[in-house]
A and B are shown apart, each in its own frame.
Chain A
Amino acid sequence: MFILLKRVIRLGWKNFSRSTGLSLVGIVVLMATIFLTTSLLLLQEITQEIVKDIEEKADISVEFNLAAPEERIFRVKEDLEEEFDLVAINYLSREEVLEEFKRRHRDDPVMMEALDEVGNPFSAILNIKAREVQDYREVSDFIRRNHSDIISDIDFYGRKEVIEEIFSVTSRVQRSIIIASIILGVIAVLIVLGTTKLSIYSIGQEIKVMRLVGASNWYIQGSFLTQGFITGLIASLASLFLLLFLSFAIYQGYNIFNLDLEKHILGNFSLILLLQFGTGIGLSLFASIVAVSRYLKV
């Protein structure tokens, strides 16, 4: 059995190397398909991290009228604590906001001078941190509904729009990648199928002899499936090296959104391997099986 397996693999390699040109085209298209499939996974990971990062930074700042009495502000705080499951709610009085401003601009004499003339222009603020980003709308509506008379501004919509925009862009990119992957996958399958078909035709005489001398169907078919397996394996390995090269050598230089690509790739390495080899070998083997069942008469 082992001898036969060894010979089937050897014959498969021979079939592969006999049609190097077409095999290479198949490998390149498979590589592109694998690369896109893997990028889908990475894109999802990266989107989640960006959104998580934005969500962590998200909060609501409620600015009160200058005339709003402190006891009313505390009532707003208490109402919110009763009504919602908040992570944090911090009150900054007008004086504390002023102090904070002064601290930040202490090296700016023009600003300090202007402040001395104006007095304290700042409102008291409630900083609210909700558990989920979608809770902010309810918190905001609640404040507007019940305490609109003392509110000057509620700042949260900007962040929500950013998050929604990220989801929208990501979803569009994902859809495009899925469509491109499917198209490339179909092309890859057709190329591998064509390569296997050509191999079958080019060694038609040899196949006939194999049958005559008693080679099993498994042996004859196995060599072509091996050819497909080799194509898929090489495409998967090449795609993996390309991914590692691009991630570590090029993208490391551009630190967009503080993304750690290395972490994402290494953290999901087994899944990436499975995806890469599954897509590459799976598609290629599928194409070989179709070619063998359609064109190989045993």
Chain B
Amino acid sequence: MIIFNNVSKKYPAQVDKKEKTVLEKVTFQIDKGEFVSIVGRSGAGKTTLLELILGEKRPTEGTVLFDNQDVSKVPSGKLYKIRKRIGTIFQDYKLLPSKTVYENVAYALEVTGAPEEEIKRDVPEVLDLVGVLDQAHQFPRQLSGGEKQRVAIARALIHQPDVILADEPTGDLDPYHSREILNLLLNINRMETTIVLATHDKEIVNSIGKRVITLQNKEVVSDIKEGRFRL
């Protein structure tokens, strides 16, 4: 599903700054239906790795394949086709404050041209699935952190994506809500959706008991099937 082949990412030197290498010859493969945690300290390159999958950034060397398609070679005008197949969740939720919960999730369908009937049918279903149907008409500012992240997950799920990329989704949450979000992601994974979780939350990673890829000093230092957080 996702293949990183000798991928390096360097940011060119700028005034007062030397060239910065974020990833160095990173190689791994993620298969369909897997739940993979990408762990590493802050600045280890986890977010860059996810951005490379989304085509937000291009690798300096190597190739990133998404379903056998070289993401770095997809023209920017066609990237949306790949992004439609990927759901993305962020630590800061990235919900639109002027829209209600329902509208935030519906928006993801609207911009891709889904008919109104489909939006009316699917949005309540997904909100129910993540447990925020009762908050459908509330605005993000009226929600707790955990609820906001659920809405973000609902938005990521609404397209029925093949992969969900979660970048520190529990970073702003307390342990209770973090656990809730993790369970939600595990449930989604049971429905054959591939999950890539970038995190530095030791407790969360250790409780999953699934594959862990560890990034350290810009490189992959370990890739263990039923791994634990080791740094």
Contacts and interface: CB of A to CB of B under 8 A. Distances in A.
Contact of A208 (B94, B155, B159): B94
A217 B111 contact: no
Chain A interface size, as a band, is 10 to 19
Nearest to B86: A214
A215 B80 contact: yes
B139 to A, nearest CB: 14
Contacts of A205: 94, 96
A298 B85 CA distance: 17
A213 B112 contact: yes
B159 A217 contact: no
A206 B96 contact: yes
B113 A209 contact: no
A217 B112 contact: no
Interface string B82-111: 011100100000101000000000011011
Given A7-B110, A210-B111, A216 B80 contact: yes
Most buried by B among A205, A206, A212: A212
8 contacts: A205-B96, A209-B108, A213-B84, A213-B108, A213-B158, A214-B108, A216-B112, A219-B113
Tell me the interface secondary structure of chain A in the complex: helix
Interface in B56-76: 76
B115 interface: yes
A3 interface: yes
A216 B84 CA distance: 9
A77 to B, nearest CB: 79
A94 interface: no
Contact of A213 (B77, B81, B107): B107
Nearest to A1: B113
A4 interface: yes
A213 B155 contact: yes
Nearest to B54: A212
B112 A209 contact: no
A217 to B, nearest CB: 5
A4 B76 CA distance: 19
B111 A213 contact: yes
B94 A215 contact: no
A37 B116 CA distance: 44
Nearest to A221: B77
A32 B108 CA distance: 41
A215 B96 CA distance: 15
B112 A215 contact: yes
A7 B115 CA distance: 11
A219 B114 CA distance: 13
B111 A215 contact: yes
Given A212-B94, A213-B107, 18 more contacts: A1-B113, A3-B114, A3-B116, A205-B94, A206-B96, A208-B94, A209-B96, A212-B54, A212-B88, A213-B83, A213-B111, A213-B158, A214-B84, A216-B77, A217-B76, A218-B77, A219-B111, A219-B113
Most buried by A among B81, B94, B112, B116: B112
A211 interface: yes
Nearest to A223: B111
Contacts of A4: 113
